Chains A and B, each alone.
Chain A
Amino acid sequence: AQTVTQSQPEMSVQEAETVTLSCTYDTSENNYYLFWYKQPPSRQMILVIRQEAYKQQNATENRFSVNFQKAAKSFSLKISDSQLGDTAMYFCAFMKPPDNNAGNMLTFGGGTRLMVKP
């Protein structure tokens, strides 16, 4: 079974600054996918960024980028130029490759609450 650990329950950052959220995971799989989801106070789960384990290049989506260290089983999220709208819970999630019999289930970490201060 896979486990996902987020060791930072809460973090804060000043507006326009950069913050990094940590995530580690444990798996015996070689191929898998990693995700960061954002959950604002509205509760909606929003996909921020996705990384395929077979890709060495770190994924980037505008102000969001990841540092994927496969050997260390680490998957951190960097938010640049933080904005007030980035205030939310952030969840790291793991997924094995899709299986026709098992779908593509996500295993979530416990989350990091990020507060962006003006």
Chain B
Amino acid sequence: NAGVTQTPKFRILKIGQSMTLQCTQDMNHNYMYWYRQDPGMGLKLIYYSVGAGITDKGEVPNGYNVSRSTTEDFPLRLELAAPSQTSVYFCASSYSNYEQYFGPGTRLTVT
């Protein structure tokens, strides 16, 4: 049982490039989330999903897109990377016991 896994761990992008952050969970959780954490700050919700085929915006969705074609996977897409998207990105999942399980994070730098 690997829990929540994220790839890559680190990535450097140039302004205007695109990329997909991968997130997979093997706990059969319905709910999945993407957060970003800026330096010295708490986490902010980007997008979330309550099940396959269902996604919705969180607090800071601009510049991102998501999809949820399976229960296990919840990729986050950056279409035109900007310096303001330099951050650490966390994926999380949960079921009905209210506890969210977090992945190890992806550190993204946009220059």
Residues of A near any B CB (own CB < 8 A): 4, 9, 33, 42-45, 47, 50, 91, 93, 95, 98, 100-111
Given contacts A44-B102, A108-B43, 7 further A-B contacts (CB under 8 A): A91-B43, A93-B42, A98-B96, A103-B94, A104-B31, A105-B45, A111-B42
A107: shortest Cβ distance to chain B, in Å?
Answer: 8
Interface size class of B (residues with CB under 8 A): 20 to 34
Set of chain B residues within 8 Å of A45, measured between Cβ atoms = 43, 90, 92, 102
Question: Which B residue's beta carbon lies closest to that of A91?
Answer: B42
Residues of B near any A CB (own CB < 8 A): 30-31, 33, 40-45, 48-50, 56, 58, 88, 90, 92, 94, 96, 98-100, 102, 104-105, 107
Set of chain B residues within 8 Å of A105, measured between Cβ atoms = 33, 45, 48, 58
Set of chain A residues within 8 Å of B92, measured between Cβ atoms = 45
B99: shortest Cβ distance to chain A, in Å?
Answer: 6
Contact status B42-A109, CB under 8 Å: yes
Contact status A104-B94, CB under 8 Å: yes
> Which of A4, A43, A106, A110 contacts B88, CB < 8 Å?
A43
Known: A43-B105, A45-B102, A47-B99. A103 touches B31 (CB 8 A): yes
Known: A43-B88, A43-B105, A50-B98. A103 touches B41 (CB 8 A): no
> Which of B41, B43, B50, B94 contacts A100, CB < 8 Å?
B50
Chain A interface helix/strand/loop/mixed: loop
Interface centre among A9, A43, A107 (most CB of B within 10 A): A43
A74: shortest Cβ distance to chain B, in Å?
Answer: 18
Set of chain B residues within 8 Å of A93, measured between Cβ atoms = 42
Contact status A103-B50, CB under 8 Å: yes
Contact status B104-A44, CB under 8 Å: yes
Known: A43-B88, A45-B90, A111-B42. A106 touches B100 (CB 8 A): yes
Contact status B50-A95, CB under 8 Å: no
Assembly CA distance A98 to B97 (angstroms): 9
B75: shortest Cβ distance to chain A, in Å?
Answer: 17
Contact status B40-A111, CB under 8 Å: yes
A1: shortest Cβ distance to chain B, in Å?
Answer: 9
